[in-house]
Chains A and B, each alone.
Chain A
Amino acid sequence: MTATARERILAATRANHFEENPLPTVPQFTGDASVERFTEVLQSIGGQIVRIPVGQPLAEVVQQLFPAAGPVASPLLPATITIDEQTPTAVLDTVDVAVLGGIFGVAENGCIWLPEANMLHRALPLITQHLVLVLSQQNIVATMHQAYALVTDVGDYGMFIAGPSKTADIEQSLVIGAHGARSLTVLLTA
């Protein structure tokens, strides 16, 4: 049945093709790629940013930021819970803080590229109560044009994350912490 649907749809679509309009070349619109701009935008969308002094261990920073943290998952520092692709949901659900490595940030909208390889588990950036992304301040681009020029392959799964999970579905009142992480902290390294 679905095979015929496929043929019907393709035939009907093809029958309604019209004179071809050229596919435009998208210019590389650029802009402010400063750390300041990125910081300002990220804060405006509910994220917080912490600059890491050279030489300070990540674990120490995370400890200071989340002194009473429950299980901390991370490939970047000594974690208190081990997460991998096979981790059962019930265990994932106990993660309090996940510290993951972002690849680059986008100054115009606060997006940070997080590929699957850096997630430990696809659900971890969402299911953790608090998300911490480590980002080098050398790796900030201005706009999404530069962003997609860098992401030439999205891999099996990958996401841009811009701030903590949020909703405004009740009377347009902004509430941080809908279903995903309740907070997003970006640790900016030199």
Chain B
Amino acid sequence: MSHPKRAEVFTRDTERTTWHDETLWFVRQKRDKAVYAVPEFQELRELASQIKTHTLSRLADYLEQFEAQAKANGVHVHWAANAEEHNAIVLDIIRQEKASSIVKSKSMLTEECHLNPYLLRHGVEIVDTDLGERIVQLRQESPSHLVLPAIHLKKEDVGATFFKHLGTAEGEVDPQVLTEAARQHLRARFLTAEVAISGVNFAIAETGSIVVCTNEGNADLAVNLARVHIASMGIEKLIPRLSDLSVFTRLLARSATGQPATTYTSHFSRPAAGKELHIILVDNGRTQQLGRPDFRASLKCIRCGACMNTCPVYRRSGGHSYDFTVPGPIGAILSPNIDMRQHASLPFASTLCGSCTDVCPVKIDIHTQLYKWRQVIAAADEIPASKKWSMRLLSRVLARPGMYELGGKFARVGLRFVPHALTHAPGYNPWAIARELPEPPPQSFREWFKQTNPKP
């Protein structure tokens, strides 16, 4: 199913669409307030962009530096070329530990690798500990937003899920009460977990450290209690210097939720005595994206979700309409790299309004990349045939003034005489589902001009 089809289904519930739009717009407004309060915010964006671009331009060197430092720190470093390799490494570590209780904090990479279903197939169950992720996990859904995984759900939905799985009272919808229930339920898991998996927000080449940012504290609680900590990271998470974090920590939370900082910004360099830290460096299509000059800037992404909150399409179509791990504008430029045919409709799920580019804290030219993916997708013949041929025809007409003048006249005159019911039939004219066509005037501008300015 394509994006427009799924989006159409989402918008059928008018009230929920309104709610979804307004809730995310509220997050965008919080972001604005935080951004306006930092006079150097635009300079920080530029610095962040330059640091990331620099890192990508010589990524292999930084990866080697990071690996050497991390190993010197007593960290186990693994490399995974793709999702399968990543998942196999995780399973192997779990089996070596003979672990049966495993918890995981927020990691979009493990979502991308479909780690949970993989482990389930091998008899290993993981409990997601981020509240939003736990909610969608219990509902057997996927996150619909990078930072707000359950933003597609209302408290009534969560209440029903917790009633079913956590034994809260039927009809309980108070977020305070529901969160407390999740706290109690998950605390038991934290206490017994043998292996804790986390994502990585930043990896510092010069020190071999990783940085994890959360508000809930679930990542730190989990990895500091379990004997084994597995941190999965895409290879694009690297930054060269510890001091570069000053730029990124100032941008991340403000862009994501409008907070001045995430509650916990944790730096892991060495495992505690008697414990293990494993870092898995994952490619899974990233080196391929690095090899596409028009699109490699997408690898600068720090997963703040600001482009989703600002996107007028995302806010009205919901994260699941993208049918990709990373939804929204950034997902629409990452997904064709993974599977162009499957995600062919995503770069077209945009008006190219450019707001995503303007909120992006690392200045990814998102809307320009959307435009460029459209060219690549059409050239690969992955757009609907009707569109392709009509565009070819249009080109012929528009390069020939005589044909154009005649064609325009036909359209205009045609519209004046064909009955409204026919020109506005929704089956033939998607424009007319909500809009009237322009009222065709008797005379075009060029006809008027000729008349008023006769050639001397």
**Interface residues in chain A, defined as those with a beta carbon under 8 Å from any beta carbon in chain B:** 1-3, 5-6, 8-10, 12-24, 26-27, 29, 41, 45, 85, 89-90, 92-93, 106, 108-111, 121-123, 125-127, 143-145, 147-149, 151-173, 175, 177-181
* 0 or 1 for each of B7-37: is its CB under 8 Å from A? (1 = yes): 0000000000000000100110000000000
Task: Provide the residues of chain A in CB contact with B55, threshold 8 Å.
Answer: 23
The one of B180, B235, B246 in contact with A26, judged by C-beta atoms closer than 8 angstroms, is B246
Asked if B267 and A9 sit within 8 Å, CB to CB, the answer is no
Q: A148-B243, A167-B216 are in contact. Are A172 and B151 (CB under 8 A)?
A: yes
Q: How far is the CA of A118 from the CA of B54 in the complex (A)?
A: 36
Task: Provide the residues of chain B in CB contact with A111, threshold 8 Å.
Answer: 261, 265
Q: Which chain B residue lies CB-closest to A119?
A: B224
Q: A21-B53, A159-B265, A169-B130 are in contact. Are A179 and B287 (CB under 8 A)?
A: no
**Interface residues in chain B, defined as those with a beta carbon under 8 Å from any beta carbon in chain A:** 23, 26-27, 38, 40, 43-44, 47, 50-51, 53-60, 63-64, 73, 78-81, 85, 89, 129-132, 135, 148-151, 153-155, 158, 175-176, 178-180, 182-183, 186-187, 190-191, 207, 209, 215-218, 220-221, 224-225, 235, 240-247, 249-250, 253, 257, 259-273, 281, 283, 287-288, 290-291, 293, 296
Task: Provide the residues of chain A in CB contact with B58, threshold 8 Å.
Answer: 17, 20
Task: Provide the residues of chain B in CB contact with A151, threshold 8 Å.
Answer: 242
The one of B131, B155, B265 in contact with A178, judged by C-beta atoms closer than 8 angstroms, is B131
In whole Å, how far is B176's beta carbon from the nearest beta carbon of chain A?
5
Task: Provide the residues of chain A in CB contact with B287, threshold 8 Å.
Answer: 9, 12-13, 15-16
Q: Which chain B residue lies CB-closest to A174?
A: B175
Asked if B155 and A165 sit within 8 Å, CB to CB, the answer is no
Q: Which chain B residue lies CB-closest to A154?
A: B267
| A18, A93, A156, A171 — most chain B CB neighbours (10 Å) | A171
The one of B23, B85, B149, B153 in contact with A5, judged by C-beta atoms closer than 8 angstroms, is B85
Task: Provide the residues of chain B in CB contact with A121, threshold 8 Å.
Answer: 224
Q: Which chain B residue lies CB-closest to A90?
A: B191
Asked if A89 and B50 sit within 8 Å, CB to CB, the answer is no
Asked if A170 and B158 sit within 8 Å, CB to CB, the answer is yes
The one of A9, A23, A27, A178 in contact with B235, judged by C-beta atoms closer than 8 angstroms, is A9
Asked if B220 and A123 sit within 8 Å, CB to CB, the answer is yes
Asked if A45 and B259 sit within 8 Å, CB to CB, the answer is yes
Asked if A123 and B246 sit within 8 Å, CB to CB, the answer is no
Task: Provide the residues of chain B in CB contact with A158, threshold 8 Å.
Answer: 266-267
Q: A154-B209, A179-B186 are in contact. Are A170 and B179 (CB under 8 A)?
A: yes
In whole Å, how far is A122's beta carbon from the nearest beta carbon of chain B?
4
Q: A9-B81, A9-B283, A148-B243 are in contact. Are A165 and B148 (CB under 8 A)?
A: no
Task: Provide the residues of chain A in CB contact with B247, threshold 8 Å.
Answer: 26
Asked if A180 and B221 sit within 8 Å, CB to CB, the answer is yes
Q: How far is the CA of A85 from the CA of B175 in the complex (A)?
A: 35
Q: How far is the CA of A155 from the CA of B217 in the complex (A)?
A: 20
| B40, B56, B268, B287 — most chain A CB neighbours (10 Å) | B287
Q: Which chain B residue lies CB-closest to A121?
A: B224
Task: Provide the residues of chain B in CB contact with A180, threshold 8 Å.
Answer: 216-218, 220-221, 263-264
17 contacts between A and B (CB under 8 A): A9-B79, A10-B64, A15-B287, A16-B287, A16-B291, A17-B57, A22-B50, A23-B54, A26-B247, A109-B250, A121-B224, A126-B224, A148-B243, A156-B73, A158-B266, A164-B263, A175-B175
Q: How far is the CA of A163 from the CA of B216 in the complex (A)?
A: 11
